[in-house]
Every structure is written in structure tokens, then in C-alpha cells.
Amino acid sequence: MGHTHFMSTLVTAHDAGPVLASLLRASADGDQAAFAQVYDAAGPMVYGTCLRVLRDPDLAAEALQDVMLEAWHSAAAFDADRGSAEAWLATMAHRRSVDRVRSVQAARARDEQDANSSYVREVDEVSDEVFRRADADRVAHGMAGLTDTQRESIILAYWGGLTYREVADRLGVALPTVKSRIRDGLICLRLCLGVR
């Protein structure tokens, strides 16, 4: 526990490396106060590294938390003979940030693939008839006769490619409400377009 006094004053650039290395060793032994000092001293550098890769302050702040949690759990893996504490933390920050970028890109790719693929949605039989038998002008005319909430729900579900649950989440309403809006809107469209 004698390590916690190391950073009672601000660490200067000259002595930051040895002090951080000592604090990391103390952290590996479970010294939470030492790790709090590691966090205070290295947090801005870790955040800056994350921000340079992610270019989003919120994502960088989340990555900072992930890196520091990883550093706490793996402090025993730090080896001063292989590099400085700053380099160890910066490498961890860079790796975490790149992983997060890849994760975000993969999620976007999945979303695009889902939107473009023919997946099974909760579709009323009436909607199939409406969109199969009516041309675009007639549909647009029929859509104009719907309420704003019906129109918005139908557009999100059928032109936006969202499931009924996703429409409910997007609009902040209950799933049964969305189902009713879409069902009633499609019935109105069917009547307007003369689809039997």
C-alpha cells in the first residue's frame, strides 16, 4: 500500500513513466488507490488515442472505460522490460478503438444487408395485394388519405424495410399500436384503391 503516495503531486513528463510502471505493479497486487492514480495520470492520453481513431467523443469515452477496465484486470501482464507503461496503455487504447470501429462498420454492413435482403416480416395479406396490384401514383394518392401516424408507420415498415417492432421502437410507441396503425392504414388503402 506504500505505492499510493507516488502521485500525491502532479506527475511531470520526466518521471511519469517510472511512476506509472510502479503504480501498475501495485495495481496488479489489487491496490485500488494506485490504479485510481494510473487512471488520473494516463486517462487523458488514453482518451486522446481513442478519439484520434474513433473521431467521436462519446465512443472515445466508452473506449476509455473499456481500456482502463482491461488495464485493471490485466495489470499483472504489464512488463516494463518490453516497453513503457504509456506505450502499453496506448497500444491497448489503439487496439480497443480499432476493434470498436470494426464492430460499428460490421453492424452497419449487417443493417444494410438486412434492409436489402428479403427477410420475413410481419406482413398483412392485405398489404401484399395493395402493393402488388396498385401502381405508384395510385398508392401515393391513397397514402394522402391516411392519417399522419398511419402513413409514417406504413412508410417505415414497407419503404424503410423495418419490422413492426423496429417501427414501434423508432416511433416510441407500443407494438400493438403500430400493428393497429398499419392494419387500419392498409385497409384504408385497399378501399381507396379498390383492391378486393
Instruction: Please check whether residues 106 and 129 belong to one and the same domain.
Output: no
- Per-residue pLDDT band at 5 (split at 50, 70, 90): very low
pLDDT score at 77: 92
Name the residue type at position 26: A
Cell 400493428: give the residue. Answer: 179
Instruction: Please check whether residues 177 and 81 belong to one and the same domain.
Output: no
Give me the DSSP letters along the chain.
-GGGGTTSSPPPTTTHHHHHHHHHHHHHTT-HHHHHHHHHHHHHHHHHHHHHHH--HHHHHHHHHHHHHHHHHTGGG--GGGS-HHHHHHHHHHHHHHHHHHHHHHHHHHHHHHHHS-------HHHHHHHHHS-HHHHHHHHHTS-HHHHHHHIIIIIS---HHHHHHHHTS-HHHHHHHHHHHHHHHHHHHT--
Print the domain residue range for 177: 125-193
CATH code, 160 = 1.10.10.10
Instruction: Please check whether residues 105 and 134 belong to one and the same domain.
Output: no
Stretch 169-195: mean pLDDT, rounded?
Answer: 84
Instruction: Please check whether residues 130 and 110 belong to one and the same domain.
Output: no
Q: Which of 178, 183, 193, 177 is nearest to 143 (CA)?
A: 193
The structural domain count of the chain equals: 2
| pLDDT score of 9 more than 50 | no
Question: Does residue 193 or residue 156 have the better pLDDT?
Answer: 156
CATH code, 79 = 1.10.1740.10
| Last residue within a domain, chosen from 54, 82, 116 | 116
Instruction: Please check whether residues 15 and 50 belong to one and the same domain.
Output: yes
Separation between Cα atoms, residue 24 and residue 111, nearest integer Å: 41
Stretch 154-170: mean pLDDT, rounded?
Answer: 86
- pLDDT tens digits, 23-65: 999 999 999 999 999 999 999 999 999 999 988 888 889 899 9
Stated pTM of the model: 0.50
pLDDT score at 93: 92
Instruction: Please check whether residues 103 and 146 belong to one and the same domain.
Output: no
pLDDT score at 172: 93
Instruction: Please check whether residues 99 and 10 belong to one and the same domain.
Output: yes
Name the residue type at position 6: F
| Last residue within a domain, chosen from 116, 151, 177 | 116
CB 4 within 8 A of CB 74: no
- pLDDT tens digits, 97-153: 888 888 878 877 776 666 544 434 444 555 555 555 555 567 777 788 888 888 898
Cα dist. 42→7, 47, 87, 147 in Å? 12, 9, 11, 56
| pLDDT score of 7 more than 70 | no
pLDDT score at 67: 92
